[in-house]
Homo-oligomer: A and B are copies of this chain.
Amino acid sequence: MSKIARLDIHNSQIPVICRACEARHKGICGALSPDELTYLSKHTSKYEIGREHEIVPAGEDVSTYSNILSGVVRLSKLMADGRQQIVGLQFAPDFLGRPFRRTNDYTAEAATDVRVCSFPRSVLEEIIARVPALEHRLHEQTLKELDEARDWMLTLGRKSAEEKVASFLYLIATHINPERGETDEPVTFELPLKRADIADFLGLTIETVSRQITRLRKRGLIHVEHNRDVTVPDMEALHEACETARD
């Protein structure tokens, strides 16, 4: 039997809507057998959320979870007087939602246009009970998010404004295009966040973000077009700027 044929047979057991889905490989669905995937797919619905729209509200009862298929989601906390902090960014194929709890204590919003694949909480919990590997996947993602949150705490607490902005650009550059090898080539990407979001992510003001971007530009570490299109000629140099602002 040729390799192609085997792949075809395998694919024929996978639900149609899952076949081209990234979540099936790197996402949580990778933990599921074709049977379980078929069961889950009967309860899913894919849809699109426009930029700036809320996906999961803070504090309210939500009964669905989602996989992110494309786009960037921001998780943010709001204080009574309007101050805001972004506490996480999520990319495809991340799982979206707080397992084993009815509410989030942060809001999930679409930073760009976002496509998701949603399913009821009850279905997820049911499958978890049958398939321990699924909880393991979720656990792995939670651990990854915790590692990222702690990395970010260092940035928020101890870095200068210039280092913060450099760190943000480095983070985006390494997350937006995951298949980037460790090449010496320039990296180009479109910023998924506007200045106000970057400021909320970094604990800075819009003006400071803007000034630091200008500085990094003048230092030759980045090149910016149309406010959003960033080129990093030397990723290693940008990486260094994440820890050493002043020289």
Contacts and interface: CB of A to CB of B under 8 A. Distances in A.
Interface of A: 75, 77, 79-81, 83-85, 87-88, 98-101, 105-106, 132, 135-136, 138-140, 142-143, 145-147, 149-154, 156-159, 200, 202-203, 243-244
Contacts of A153: 77, 85, 87, 149, 152-153, 156
Contacts of A105: 147, 150-151
Given A158-B83, A203-B157, A243-B81, A100 B143 contact: yes
A157 B243 contact: no
B154 A87 contact: yes
Contact of A202 (B84, B100, B157, B243): B157
Nearest to A79: B243
Contacts of A151: 77, 105
A150 B87 contact: yes
Contact of A150 (B101, B149, B154, B202): B149
How many protomers of this protein does the assembly include?
A: 2
A79 B244 CA distance: 10
A18 B106 CA distance: 38
B244 A81 contact: yes
A134 to B, nearest CB: 10
B139 A88 contact: no
A157 B156 contact: yes
Given A140-B100, A146-B146, A154 B244 contact: no
